Amino acid sequence: MKSLGQKGVVVRTIQRADKKDLVTLAVSGVATVHEAQGRKGLLDPAIRPIQQNKSLAGSAVTVLLAPGDNWMFHVAVEQCRPGDMLVAVPTSPCVDGFFGDLLATSLQARGVVGLIADHGVRDSRTLREMGFGVWSRSVYAQGTVKETLGSVNVPVICAGQLIMPGDTIVADDDGVVVVARADTARIAEKARQREELEESKRARMAAGELGLDIYQMRARLAEKGLRYVETLDDLEE
Amino acid sequence: MKSLGQKGVVVRTIQRADKKDLVTLAVSGVATVHEAQGRKGLLDPAIRPIQQNKSLAGSAVTVLLAPGDNWMFHVAVEQCRPGDMLVAVPTSPCVDGFFGDLLATSLQARGVVGLIADHGVRDSRTLREMGFGVWSRSVYAQGTVKETLGSVNVPVICAGQLIMPGDTIVADDDGVVVVARADTARIAEKARQREELEESKRARMAAGELGLDIYQMRARLAEKGLRYVETLDDLEE
Amino acid sequence: MKSLGQKGVVVRTIQRADKKDLVTLAVSGVATVHEAQGRKGLLDPAIRPIQQNKSLAGSAVTVLLAPGDNWMFHVAVEQCRPGDMLVAVPTSPCVDGFFGDLLATSLQARGVVGLIADHGVRDSRTLREMGFGVWSRSVYAQGTVKETLGSVNVPVICAGQLIMPGDTIVADDDGVVVVARADTARIAEKARQREELEESKRARMAAGELGLDIYQMRARLAEKGLRYVETLDDLEE
Amino acid sequence: MKSLGQKGVVVRTIQRADKKDLVTLAVSGVATVHEAQGRKGLLDPAIRPIQQNKSLAGSAVTVLLAPGDNWMFHVAVEQCRPGDMLVAVPTSPCVDGFFGDLLATSLQARGVVGLIADHGVRDSRTLREMGFGVWSRSVYAQGTVKETLGSVNVPVICAGQLIMPGDTIVADDDGVVVVARADTARIAEKARQREELEESKRARMAAGELGLDIYQMRARLAEKGLRYVETLDDLEE
Amino acid sequence: MKSLGQKGVVVRTIQRADKKDLVTLAVSGVATVHEAQGRKGLLDPAIRPIQQNKSLAGSAVTVLLAPGDNWMFHVAVEQCRPGDMLVAVPTSPCVDGFFGDLLATSLQARGVVGLIADHGVRDSRTLREMGFGVWSRSVYAQGTVKETLGSVNVPVICAGQLIMPGDTIVADDDGVVVVARADTARIAEKARQREELEESKRARMAAGELGLDIYQMRARLAEKGLRYVETLDDLEE
Amino acid sequence: MKSLGQKGVVVRTIQRADKKDLVTLAVSGVATVHEAQGRKGLLDPAIRPIQQNKSLAGSAVTVLLAPGDNWMFHVAVEQCRPGDMLVAVPTSPCVDGFFGDLLATSLQARGVVGLIADHGVRDSRTLREMGFGVWSRSVYAQGTVKETLGSVNVPVICAGQLIMPGDTIVADDDGVVVVARADTARIAEKARQREELEESKRARMAAGELGLDIYQMRARLAEKGLRYVETLDDLEE
């Protein structure tokens, strides 16, 4: 993957997953999608939403930034389409406020649904009021310059995960997960099935049935040696 | 305390504090309860609520978990009664999402009021929508397995505090405090008195009276050598 | 600056900025003010608001505290006037809950608008309900004693910034910035102009115009060597 | 455990484990002892040694301290005997330098082997030169006062573990583990056996034999579904 | 990259860089190699050496681990050759001590030069005494189980960097950098040249010549507006 | 203090403290100096030495840097004299490796004794081998550019402390403390006296005398209510 982290390049054409699969994934949410694809793809838990009650899915347009320099955001805007999600990564750790309400306005005008930022953002209140979804490493008003080239739509590593341009990003109150573009339809179907299955479990549990019985765990627990005693004193004898 | 951290055991019978004292403590809140019992029992401030404006008190049902393994939660559910609060601790530091909305549904069906988790949780938005109170170390969608035994209702150390099964847990926006079961009635009464006392102080302060006068601090401050000067320049002479 | 961090002193008279400039700065918000004064004065991003959607500006009354000792808060209250903002700093790192709803009631009765705390606070829910603005390093119910002298209205270093008594503090969802008292009028005017300028940019961006064109960036990007390619495969040749 | 964290008390008489078992445990080291007692008792990994190549075991004399106040250390010294290890805990989180070379001199004169500090220390270079073993949360020169009572030889929770006066503490480059006094002889014997067993394994491994064969893991791995392929390309087909 | 993070697979055959280039890179060290390849490939600075004065380079054999489970290390040993460097990554954040002296003995017997661990290690003193190089996220004695499959020689993301099996790892007191296998010869040559260049600069600087003159910076600084004043007072006028 | 953090300026002439006082302070060390000046001036404990057993004092030459940009170091070198200590601060948090062995060579050639860096450094092994003292926030090989102006010899806030050019910096294994230039002679004398006093205390303690008696603490402890009991059981009655 020679292009990983390459600087000074803008890739114009990327493949995106099907819109209807993105909708399915946004409804399923991060925890279910993560399970549906075999427990992989989660970004580091240090990436937190700046708002509550928002669940989004979009196609990744990636932006590689120099630390303390947000110039490439402007280049990235032009490459975005409705339904995209911007994924922004500085080339070394930096908590500055690379992103604020003006850039969000420009992205929203192009139909971009949100931002995943492995750095800080500012104007956080306005971003919430605009309904533009943001997941970031920090909130910090420190401004940035426009001096150094980065890249748009090259592969990036964001908060510990490899993200290819066009990959599907799902983000909600639990955090962020990436699904490979080519796997999106398959994982969307799996997530949908999983949701259905959970729904039936939820109904039984709400009615008071125990997971021990629904999942038939008692035998295996006994076999592993689980021991029931009446009181703590029995234990200390 | 030989049973501290013991694995593979479920204790069925624990003593619980009186319900009406739990209500009193929930109304008083964590800061007042902590003061009422002589400034002890606070969990580490890294344990944070995932919701706002919730103040709860319950009797601790403790769960000891293997890292990355949430099997014992299902065993614990069966041991819970209305008014209980689950206290979950992994045997080594782990931020995984051990707990989500299905387990919360099952607990809510049994009348459990909330969860204190020395680890991560997921499905955080649904947990908030359900009104199930959660205080945790992190929010992270990373799933767990069901392979290794832990214990239920053994003494645990949760976020720096020793918690015995049946101890009283009070949790609100300020964090979490534990009160020994046997002290609960006494502390509830003290907290209630303290609240009353504070209420009268609050009224005087709202009317503009100074703490310096209400608490008669001026003499002692002078005695310790507090010096009033007119301006900063006086100071630098 | 011999008085920096000096203990056992209360300075009674400080100069404050003009009220109307404080209003202007509160409306502009932290990110804009920070830019208007040449990108300086931001407090460490570890200082976070305990509420959302609040933007305040006030004149700093400073309080220097011994760790785990909130005695000087009571001394400070008496020195406050309407429109002031308390800035509290312990002499060594301490996350205890130095400040709660009683002190806030007393400050609110004197017209103080908020608190910047380089330490922890408690009674956080009540503070939010009172509408008293708080920015702090932590929320933690751990109480404090009243044994050791500190100072009021001496210069302090709060979360990495030097703050002189009477300096202007601006705080919102993005964090906190300090403006020197003498610079307040000038920076308020600059911030106002900046806001106007941003407003016109925002309108053009909302209409779909690109930052690349509004700021005429294309030539400079090309000159720095930015290269557009059609697909990622072109890149790897 | 009503005495946990009780203030203003000095307990004069504590039971200690047998010296020869302490020697065995010091030789085995923390990782082996932790395994020998069923993987429990480890202090939080934030407690780090300030020196290298030191492995110690001693009987815990516990000291409970007010934050920023090291008065009780002087009280504790008098309660120490040769072979003891001091375990110091502030009642709320505090990184100050509670402990330095003078106190270490006094402890060394009484035969104390080292200090486990859930806070900061200072004079770190001199402590190393004296050969006095220290494991602490931080190194920080910030001084402390002598104003507030704490306790000596009451149960404490240190870095997440309950420690009773007289419990056995083992500390080396890997961190710190606590063994209940009553279990010390039994765990020492188990640790010794474990060391022997490891020694034979080490010899076979040093000779090039694989763990896969020594522990006969191949069948179980195959049964779980482990799949060997020739190249990464085989995988992506 | 469908195989990224895939579980239950062992890839037997990987390509490795040329030994002589590894030697060149180990001599150059991490900072120089990082510059030579255009400032990319550095692992997160949280990965620290457990020893000093060691500079190594090796070919990556990758191990993907379940959290708290070190089973796959034994599988990995068999796939190693002389000159390899093990790169171990858990599938979710975990600070447990997955690795100790027995595994190191086994690896050393096969000629493996060191370990890069995105998790914790134990037996740290013995590892240092053996001369086996280790870079890890933590030192912690907490043991692990052998229950769950992971993989060997699949692509992994370690501390923020994508590492392909066979990639070249360079590690020294400054941290760790990864060089793509195919780039190794080219980067080794560049690093060597860079070292030579630096050597001549170092000689001139040691003789007292200024970087301002060696790099001819004065004109560009003046052009950017750098202003020399005599004293701080001049500045404040 | 309008010049605090001002950019694009080099101040050529600063006042420095007397060399012999610097020597006295270096011998006393950070903890003693900190006490001698009334417990103030300590830098944040996150600033750590990269070497052991080094105790230095020097006059501060300050450097203000743009994040990720080390250009101003070269400008600063020219302003240094024998006995100076460089104090480097980025304008927003940044862990990059701004400083390495070439710059150290240049500084050493001018007689500079060390560096206090509120950022990261690289070439750490070589820096140790050169005997050039470094205290920094991190060790990280990430390189920096030379694009943006900063300043030399303006007031800076470094790790939470205000440092004026020419102030005295003392640094050892415990961390770093700043002493105002004008106070240096007075504090050096106080530190020397304190050292003498401590020496006599140390002798008495090494001979087995207790701090309780040396400092006559017994009466005051009793007065505060300290209670001696024989065993823990007495306590629980």
Q: What is the spatial distance between Cα C236 and Cα A2, in angstroms, rounded to a whole number?
A: 6
**Would you list the DSSP string of E131-195?**
T-EEEEEEE-----B--S--EESS-EEETTEEE-TT-EEEEETTEEEEE-GGGHHHHHHHHHHHH
Flag whether E touches C (3+ CB pairs, 8 A cutoff): no
* A74, pLDDT greater than 70: yes
Instruction: Provide mean pLDDT across the span E197-224.
Output: 95
Nearest Cα residue in chain A from F143: A92
Look at residue D1 in the predicted model and tell me its pLDDT: 61
Instruction: Provide mean pLDDT across the span A216-227.
Output: 95
- Of the candidates C52, C205, C236, the beta carbon closest to that of A102 is on C205
Q: Which residue of F92, F96, F138 to mutate against A (max A Cβ within 10 Å)?
A: F92
Look at residue A118 in the predicted model and tell me its pLDDT: 97
Look at residue F1 in the predicted model and tell me its pLDDT: 61
Instruction: Provide mean pLDDT across the span E117-126.
Output: 97
Q: How far is CA A44 from the centre of its chain?
A: 9
Please answer yes or no on whether C96 and D96 come within 8 Å at the CB atom: no
Look at residue C2 in the predicted model and tell me its pLDDT: 60
Residues 6+ apart with CB under 8 A from A3: A9, A154, A155, C232, C235, C236
| D9-37: pLDDT as tens digits | 999 999 999 999 999 999 999 999 999 99
Q: What is the spatial distance between Cα A71 and Cα A103, in angstroms, rounded to a whole number?
A: 11
* F71, pLDDT greater than 50: yes
> Lowest mean pLDDT: which of D34-43, E2-11, F86-95?
E2-11
Nearest Cα residue in chain B from C99: B31
F36 touches F197 (CB < 8 A) = no
Instruction: Provide mean pLDDT across the span F5-20.
Output: 94
Instruction: Provide mean pLDDT across the span F147-163.
Output: 95
| A100-152: pLDDT as tens digits | 999 999 999 999 999 999 999 999 999 999 999 999 999 999 999 999 999 99
Chain A touched by F36 (CB under 8 Å): no
Structure confidence at residue C237 as a pLDDT band (50, 70, 90): very low
Please answer yes or no on whether A149 and C53 come within 8 Å at the CB atom: no
* E237, pLDDT greater than 70: no
Query: Cβ of C234: how many Cβ atoms within 10 Å?
Result: 15
Structure confidence at residue F236 as a pLDDT band (50, 70, 90): low
Q: What is the spatial distance between Cα F58 and Cα F16, in angstroms, rounded to a whole number?
A: 9
Helices D71-78, D101-109: axis angle to 10 degrees equals: 10
Q: What is the spatial distance between Cα A144 and Cα D215, in angstroms, rounded to a whole number?
A: 56
Look at residue F237 in the predicted model and tell me its pLDDT: 47
Look at residue E68 in the predicted model and tell me its pLDDT: 84
Structure confidence at residue B94 as a pLDDT band (50, 70, 90): confident
Instruction: Provide mean pLDDT across the span C174-202.
Output: 96
Look at residue F226 in the predicted model and tell me its pLDDT: 95
Flag whether A touches D (3+ CB pairs, 8 A cutoff): no
Residue-by-residue pLDDT tens, chain D, 237 positions: 667 878 899 999 999 999 999 999 999 999 999 999 988 899 999 999 999 999 999 999 999 999 999 999 999 999 999 999 999 999 988 999 999 999 999 999 999 999 999 999 999 999 999 999 999 999 999 999 999 999 999 999 999 999 999 999 999 999 999 999 999 999 999 999 999 999 999 999 999 999 999 999 999 999 999 999 999 888 764
| C110-134: pLDDT as tens digits | 999 999 999 999 999 999 999 999 9
* B237, pLDDT greater than 60: no
Look at residue E196 in the predicted model and tell me its pLDDT: 93
Q: Which residue of C105, C112, C152 to mutate against B (max B Cβ within 10 Å)?
A: C105
Closest CA–CA distance from residue E188 to any residue of chain F (Å): 17
F225 touches D149 (CB < 8 A) = yes
Please answer yes or no on whether C235 and A3 come within 8 Å at the CB atom: yes
* F6, pLDDT greater than 50: yes
Look at residue D237 in the predicted model and tell me its pLDDT: 47
* A191, pLDDT greater than 70: yes
ipTM metric: 0.94
CB interface of E with D, residues 129-168, below 8 Å? 138-143, 146, 148-149, 153-155, 164-165
Look at residue C1 in the predicted model and tell me its pLDDT: 60
| B7-37: pLDDT as tens digits | 899 999 999 999 999 999 999 999 999 999 9
| E154-194: pLDDT as tens digits | 999 999 999 999 999 999 999 999 999 999 999 999 999 99
Look at residue A228 in the predicted model and tell me its pLDDT: 96
Strands F48-49 and F133-139: antiparallel
Residues 6+ apart with CB under 8 A from C17: C59, C166, C168, C179, C181, C184, C185
Closest CA–CA distance from residue C7 to any residue of chain A (Å): 32
Q: What is the spatial distance between Cα A80 and Cα A86, in angstroms, rounded to a whole number?
A: 8
Query: Cβ of E159: how many Cβ atoms within 10 Å?
Result: 23
Q: What is the spatial distance between Cα F229 and Cα F207, in angstroms, rounded to a whole number?
A: 27
Instruction: Provide mean pLDDT across the span B223-228.
Output: 95
CB interface of D with B, residues 193-212, below 8 Å? none
Q: What is the spatial distance between Cα C154 and Cα C131, in angstroms, rounded to a whole number?
A: 27
Please answer yes or no on whether F5 and C180 come within 8 Å at the CB atom: no
Look at residue B35 in the predicted model and tell me its pLDDT: 96
What the block records as the tokens of B84 is: 């209980």
Residue B193 burial class via C-beta count within 10 angstroms: exposed 0-12, middle 13-18, buried 19 and up: exposed
Please answer yes or no on whether D94 and C145 come within 8 Å at the CB atom: no
Look at residue A237 in the predicted model and tell me its pLDDT: 47
* C106, pLDDT greater than 90: yes
Chain F touched by C177 (CB under 8 Å): no
Q: How far is CA E196 from the centre of its chain?
A: 22
Instruction: Provide mean pLDDT across the span A155-161.
Output: 95
- Of the candidates E35, E224, E227, the beta carbon closest to that of F143 is on E35
* E2, pLDDT greater than 70: no
